[in-house]
Amino acid sequence: MSPTELRVEDSWASLRRYTDARIALGRAGASLPTRELLGFRLAHAAARDAVLAELDADSLAQGMAEPGLGLARLRSRCGSKAEYLQRPDLGRRLCDQSRSTLEALAPSSGCDLAIVVADGLSSAAVERQALPLLSALLPLAAGLKLGPLCLATRARVALSDEIGSLLGAKAVLILIGERPGLSSPDSLGAYLTFEPSPGTTDERRNCVSNIRPAGLPIASAASKLDYLVRESLRRGLSGVGLKDEQGALGTSSTLVVEERV
């Protein structure tokens, strides 16, 4: 029997053009062909690596120092990745040292917007998308009083509440690695919260998700965020009340969502 006879191709392979779902994979018996099996493993490996890899914070810090806004390096209370994955409560709180760092750096009269970059559930997302997004976003934020840029590790979305509150920020924006999908290991999410304070609930946040070249491109993400930030500051709110009221945000990628990181 020749190797090609061991595999049965599915005759409906032409349907693949309609979806990215893994359809018409063919089969060996009732099992996957070898190339499909290995393709799945490779995708899962990339996703696992994105979750477990430590963020290359030093390189990122270099890039974040360039705009000259000041930089705070922060950590949550999670001591390890394993603890981070099992204790979201600890990932939402700053360690004592980070609190002191931030208190020393806080502008005395507060700021309009604090921006936090955080590893979350995908270091790869932050390493690939965070600096390009900042570069696109900062020029749009001209005219706003920005706090020092913050780089936080082992962080959950709600860590931004404590950070924003310590900096006296009217609003806080956190750019954070999203839970990786099999075909999207490097997707960045951005969560905006007006009047951040510990204990803020998710319906008070706006989210722009799936920020990556193959998802929501950097430039579109930056303009959506710029719109959200300005509207939030102008109207004094974020979350459910700030939903796509002008149709400016498109439908699928900007939603008020449950916290996913």
Partner 1 sequence: MSYSATVGSVTYRFDDLKALLAAATPERSGDLLAGVAAGSAEERAAAQYALADLPLKAFLDDLVIPYEEDEVTRVIVDGLDYMAFAEVSSLTVGDFREWLLSDSTSGADIARISPGLMPEMAAAVSKIMRAQDLITAARKVRVRTAFRDSIGLPGRLSIRLQPNHPTDDPRGVAASIVDGLLYGAGDAVIGINPAGDNIDSVTRLLRMLDDIISGHGIPTQSCVLTHVTTTIEAIERGAPVDLVFQSIAGTQKANESFGVSASILEEGRAAALSLGRGTVGRNVMYFETGQGSALSAGANHGVDQQTVEARCYGFARAFEPLLVNTVVGFIGPEYLYDGKQIIRAGLEDHFCGKLLGLPMGVDICYTNHANADQDDMDILLASLAAAGVTYIMGVPGADDIMLNYQSTSFHDGLNARRLFGLRPAPEFEAWLRDLGLVDEDLTPRPLAGAERLLSGALAL
- Which positions from 73 through 92 interact with partner 1, judged by CB under 8 A? 85-89
Using rule CB under 8 A, residue 24 touches partner 1: yes
Using rule CB under 8 A, residue 151 touches partner 1: no
**214: its two tokens:** 């193959």
**Residue 81: CB minimum distance to partner 1, A:** 10
**Residue 255: CB minimum distance to partner 1, A:** 9
In the list 3, 5, 18, 247, the residue contacting partner 1 (rule: CB under 8 A) is 18
How far is the C-alpha of 103 from the C-alpha of 38, rounded, in Å? Answer: 50
Please list, in sequence order, all residues whose beta carbon lies within 8 angstroms of the beta carbon of residue 197, skipping any fewer than 6 positions away.
161, 164, 165
Using rule CB under 8 A, residue 44 touches partner 1: yes
193-223 exposure pattern, b = at least 16 Cβ within 10 A, e = fewer? bbbbeeebebebbbbbbbbbeebbebeebbe
Using rule CB under 8 A, residue 11 touches partner 1: yes
How far is the C-alpha of 218 from the C-alpha of 210, rounded, in Å? Answer: 10
Using rule CB under 8 A, residue 5 touches partner 1: no
Using rule CB under 8 A, residue 31 touches partner 1: yes
- Which positions from 219 through 258 interact with partner 1, judged by CB under 8 A? 251-252
Q: Which is nearer to partner 1, 24 or 248 (CB)?
A: 24
In the list 1, 4, 5, 20, the residue contacting partner 1 (rule: CB under 8 A) is 20
Written in H, E and C, the secondary structure of 57-86 is HHHHHHHHHCCCCCEEEEEECCCCHHHHHH
Residue 19 CB-density burial (10 A; 0-12 exposed, 13-18 middle, 19+ buried): exposed
Size of the site for partner 1 (CB under 8 A): 42
Interacting residues toward partner 1 by CB under 8 A: 10-12, 15-16, 18-25, 27, 29-32, 36, 40-41, 43-44, 47-48, 50-51, 85-89, 121, 179-185, 251-252
